[in-house]
Amino acid sequence: MEAEKPKWKKLTKHSKEFKNSDINILDDGCIMHIFSFLSPIPDRYNTALVCHRWRFLACHPRLWLRVDRSVRDLSQPGVFPSIETAVSSARPGDTILIASGGIHRTSNIQIKKPLCLIGAGELPDDTTLFCSRGSDSALEFLSTCKLANLTVRAELGCCLLHRSGRLTIDGCILQCESDPLDHLSHAIVTTATTPDVFPSALKNSGDSVSVMRTRIEGGAKAVLTSGTLSLKQVRVIYTRTSLFFWFKVEHS
C-alpha cells in the first residue's frame, strides 16, 4: 500500500492542475466559442468526455442539435425525438447528432438548408436510418449538406435523393434491400440540372456529390444520374464482403 501512495498523489496533483488550467478560467461563452471550431466527430465529441462542465458545453444546443428517440422530456432544449423535427428546427449551418442504437425511421425528409448529419456511434452500423417501402428516399437534399458515420437503408427506391447543392457522404453505409425489384433501387439518385447559362456561371452553381470511405450494398447501381451530372474520379476497393467507393459526381 505504501508503494501506491505516490501514484495516487500524482493523479490528484494532475487533477488539480487541470481544474486550475488556463482554459478553465474562461467563462462558458468563451469555451463554447473555442469548441465551435472543433470538428463534431471526433474532436468535439471527445471534449465531452473530459469533465461535467465540458460535457455540458460540448453538448450545448448552440453547437449542435441531438436526435434521441428515448427522450421523454421534449422541453429539453436542442434535443428532438425524430430527425424530421430536428431538421425543421435547425438553422442553416447547424450540426445534428443522431443517437446510436435502434432504428430511426425516415421517409422523404426534405433538407432545404445547409446542415451536417452525423451518427453518434463509434461505427456507422451503430446509427441506422430506415426508409420503408413506398417512399422515394430516406433523405432528399436541396442544399449543401454533409452526411457522416451513418447507415441508410432503403427497402425500395433510393437511400439518398440529391436535387441540388454540394452533398458530401463520408464514412457511411448505404444499403438497398435485395429482392426481385432491386433493379428499381439505387443507393444515390441525383437529378441536379444546369440551367442554360454561361460556362462561368456553371462553375459557381455548386451542384455535386462527393462520396468517401462509404460502403454501398445492393441496388442496380451505386449512383443513378438523371440530370446533367456525371460520375468522375472513381476509385473502388474490393474486399470479400464489401465494396468501398471513392468518387465524385460533377457537371458533364
Question: For position 199, what pLDDT does the model report?
Answer: 42
Which residue type sits at 174? L
Question: For position 179, what pLDDT does the model report?
Answer: 64
Question: For position 6, what pLDDT does the model report?
Answer: 44
Long-range contacts of 19-25 (CB under 8 A, 24+ apart): 24/53
Question: For position 203, what pLDDT does the model report?
Answer: 46
| pLDDT in 10s for each residue of the chain, 252 residues | 444 444 444 444 444 554 556 788 888 888 888 888 887 767 877 887 888 888 888 877 677 888 988 776 666 678 898 999 999 999 998 899 999 888 999 999 999 999 999 998 888 999 999 998 878 899 999 999 999 999 999 988 889 999 999 999 999 999 987 665 666 778 999 988 755 443 444 444 578 899 988 988 887 778 888 877 777 777 777 666 666 777 777 765
Phi, psi of 132 (to 5 degrees): -80, 165
Residues 249, 200: Cα–Cα separation, whole Å: 19
Question: For position 196, what pLDDT does the model report?
Answer: 47
pTM of the model: 0.75
Domain boundaries, the chain: 92-251
Give the contacts of 191 (CB within 8 A, at least 6 positions apart).
161, 162, 163, 226, 227
Q: How many CA atoms lie within 13 A of 128 on its CB side?
A: 12
128-to-79, 101, 112, 145, 201 alpha-carbon distances in Å: 18, 8, 22, 18, 38
- All three cell numbers of 137: 428516399
Question: For position 117, what pLDDT does the model report?
Answer: 95
Nearest by Cα to 76 from 91, 60, 92, 90: 60
Question: For position 252, what pLDDT does the model report?
Answer: 58
Nearest by Cα to 142 from 116, 110, 115: 110
